Structure 1
Amino acid sequence: MINKIGKITLYVNNQEEAKEFWTKKMNFVVKAENPMGPNMTWLEVGPSESEFTTFILYNKELMKTQNPEAVAHPSIILSTDNIEDTYKNMKENGVEVEDIMKMPYGSMFSFKDQDGNRYLIREDKI
């Protein structure tokens, strides 16, 4: 039985630039960084050391040679319990953010990573 979402692969143009974006601008931590062979690195980042689910930052060009159909960017929604503070922090860190949308079902905003991929952050008050 599946009990968690484990890893989500993001195909990036440059692993070091992606690592810099997620750790410096988004305040994620490096969870794993291991060589996989010549010119290949397994790189995982997550919101904290204790969070199980991670993003694998995988070289897009390498994946195109291995499995070209896999290189689509997934639709990803991240969660926060304080949308205003998260928005302010990301904007101060130089992340390209759009305005906060206040909807009947919650507040959210979108942002772009170092490659221009769009993500959504939604306030979840559980």
Structure 2
Amino acid sequence: MIDKIGKITLYVNNQDEAKKFWTEKLEFIVKLEQPMGPTMKWLEVGPSESEFTTFILYDKNMMKSQKPDANISHPNVLLSTTDIENAYKKMKSKNIEVEDIMTMPYGKMFSFKDQDGNEYLLREDK
């Protein structure tokens, strides 16, 4: 049946700004970037070369023109780290908008926003 989660599409306002955010601020790498016709490109980023799951940074307006009834609202994405304190400090030092670290019975986490104001949750998994 299903073996892995392969790709998660994030609809973005500007692919170049999104690429800069994910690679420069969150230290992701570009896993694949190639043209898809004259006005569009396929852009995938991931946390490392060995990580299978990637984010596809897809232009919101392009999707709406291709499929007007597409739901381009932002998905709820939960990311993982083994050192929440260090991740929090690094994100703050890179001027990423972060909320306070929350300590819950099941672990520590905090939310942060990308270049378009979409919110993500980073959770410590040990």
TM-score category by the smaller chain?
over 0.9
- Deviation of residue 93 (structure 1)? 1.1
| C-alpha contact (below 8 Å) 1:25/1:90 kept by paired residues | yes
Residue equivalent to 1:124 = 125
Determine the C-alpha separation between the residues in 1 that align with 2:77 and 2:60. Answer: 17
Is 1:63–1:70's contact at 8 Å kept on the other side of the alignment? Answer: no
User: 1:110 & 1:73 partners in 2: Cα distance?
Assistant: 14
Deviation sequence 1:89-110 (CA, Å, 0-9, x none): 1111111000000000110000
Percent identical residues: 71
Pairs within 5 Å for 1:10-29? 10-29=10-29
Instruction: Give the number of aligned pairs.
Output: 125
Partner in structure 1 of residue 101 of structure 2: 100
Moved over 3 A (4+): none
C-alpha RMSD of matched pairs (Å): 0.7
Structure-2 separation of matches of 1:113 and 1:105:
25
Partner amino acid, structure 2, of 1:30? V
Q: Given the alignment of the two structures, is residue 34 of structure 1 paired with residue 34 of structure 2, yes or no?
A: yes
Question: In structure 2, how many angstroms separate the alpha carbons of the residues matched to 1:56 and 1:37?
Answer: 17
1:82-93 maps to which residues of 2 (within 5 A)?
A: 82-93=83-94
**Unaligned runs of at least 5 residues, structure 2:** none
Displacement of 1:66? 1.6
In the TM superposition, what whole-angstrom CA distance separates every residue of 1:69-118 from its partner, at most 9, and x where no partner exists? 23111000000001000101111111100000000011000000000000
CA distance in 2, matches of 1:110, 1:91: 12
